[in-house]
């Protein structure tokens, strides 16, 4: 995964208002991809969370996947 690439979170992070399947963008790659700084934003561009996640906590967004909209959960 590279900077600016969309990624999918693999588990809920309720304390940050995130659910499994939410899409974020890689803003920084640590080391050789052991961890990633990922920004999650709302539909109007407001940052919801910026998290440092291990490679095992995210995956690349597949070209064949369709995006879905949901209301932002309360933290």
Number of structural domains the chain divides into: 1
Given a cut of 90, is residue 73 above it in pLDDT?
no
Give this prediction's pTM: 0.92
Q: Kindly state whether residue 26 falls inside one of the protein's structural domains.
A: yes
Largest CA distance in the chain: 34
Locus of tokens 């995130």 = 18
SS3 15: helix
What is the distance between the alpha carbons of residues 18 and 22, in angstroms, rounded to a whole number? 7
| Span 22-33, pLDDT tens digits | 999 999 999 999
Residue 34 inside a domain? The answer is yes
Q: CATH number for the domain including 17?
A: 2.30.30
Reported as type and span, the H/E element at residue 70 is: none
Answer yes or no: is 73 within a domain.
no
51 in any annotated domain: yes
Inside any domain, residue 32: yes
Range of the domain at 11: 6-60
């Amino acid at each position: 995964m590279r900077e600016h690439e969309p990624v999918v979170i693999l588990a809920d992070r309720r304390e940050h208002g995130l659910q499994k399947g939410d899409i974020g963008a890689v803003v920084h790659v640590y080391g050789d991809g052991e961890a990633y700084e990922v920004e999650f934003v709302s539909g109007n561009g407001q940052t919801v969370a910026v998290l440092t996640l291990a490679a095992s906590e995210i995956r690349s967004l597949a070209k064949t996947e369709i995006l879905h909209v949901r209301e932002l959960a309360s933290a």
